[in-house]
Structure 1
Amino acid sequence: MTDLVDTFIENRWIVQPNHANIVETAHGGNVVKWMDEAGAMAAMRFAGETCVTVRMNSVDFKRPIRTGDTALIQAYVYDAGRTSVKVRLRAYRENLRTGERELTSESYFVYVAIDEDRNTVEVPDLTVATERGEELLQAAMAANESEVDL
């Protein structure tokens, strides 16, 4: 069994001009790519296997991430099936000089665990053994109530 807190991943990318669109903000495709990478890492940390994306919920871009700012992506597993892993993802705009953060987008992705032959494999049970894990689980469930069930 793996505790939910053990799956928490946080990655950062400085938004460079080559990541930006014509209005000098992070291109949505790059943000989704970064979210997918962090989500896959959280899923693999949980499953102990290679995990591939099988579904992503809608991604609403609430605020832009400007060139020169940092894209901060947080991901953690909040549920698991027999072979699937559900991951909550949140993207922030972060100013490294001031520490100021704003939520820019969030979504839920589903990954499936596979072996070397690309056959699905079972994943362990997810446990919530800490207060922080319970907080993360409740936050994911509350935010997901308004979304389509994954």
Structure 2
Amino acid sequence: MSVPVLDSYVESTERIQPNQANNYGNAHGGEVVRLMDELAAIAAMTVASETCVTAHVGSVDFRNPIPVGHVAELAAYVYETGTSSLEVRVDVQSRDPRDDESEPTTAARFTMVAVDENGQPVEVPSVVAETDRGARLVDGATP
């Protein structure tokens, strides 16, 4: 059984508040990674139909800050699976909510593992790029 890559594609938007910021008035890096991790889990669970936990976070690239009051626009999708693991790409953009223009801020790859109610790994379906957009996402998932 396989699942189309686009079926795992999820988005989230969150306005950055002062309690999420560092002393420079920008979203704290750890807060951004927390938001990314949550969305990675949602994308993975969409494919696995099981609870998914974080096994590894690799190549977190912070490009630009997200100022307080701006929104963090996150997008995540599963681009590859193993026996019980799911590779998830997460990208974040920053945008002033009064404007249409956004800029990339953060990108990372997460390895999630599907687990049963006892915390034991379970098998997951594969993902396939059935469309041109799906293929572009898979191609862009890794450097």
Report the TM-score when normalising by structure 2. Answer: 0.96
Moved over 3 A (4+): none
Offset from partner CA, 1:37-83 (integer Å, 9 cap, x none): 00000000011110000000031211100000001111100000000
Which residue in the other structure is 2:78 paired with? 77
- The count of residues paired between Structure 1 and Structure 2 equals 142
Report the TM-score when normalising by structure 1. Answer: 0.92
Q: Give the residue type in structure 1 aligned to 2:90.
A: L
Q: Displacement, 1:100?
A: 1.0
Offset from partner CA, 1:8-29 (integer Å, 9 cap, x none): 0111110000001101100001
Which ranges in structure 1 are unaligned for 5 or more consecutive residues?
146-150
Q: Give the residue type in structure 2 aligned to 1:29.
A: G
Q: Give the residue type in structure 2 aligned to 1:50.
A: T
* RMSD over aligned Cα atoms: 0.9
The 5 A counterparts of 1:1-150 are 1-140=2-141, 144-145=142-143
What is the rounded CA distance, in whole Å, between the counterparts of 1:9 and 1:101 in structure 2? 18
What is the rounded CA distance, in whole Å, between the counterparts of 1:46 and 1:97 in structure 2? 34
Offset from partner CA, 1:99-128 (integer Å, 9 cap, x none): 111001101000000001111000002111
Q: Give the residue type in structure 1 aligned to 2:127.
A: L
What is the rounded CA distance, in whole Å, between the counterparts of 1:99 and 1:116 in structure 2? 43
| Higher fraction of strand | 2
What is the rounded CA distance, in whole Å, between the counterparts of 1:126 and 1:110 in structure 2? 14
Percent identity between matched residues is 42
State the secondary structure of the residue aligned to 2:80: strand
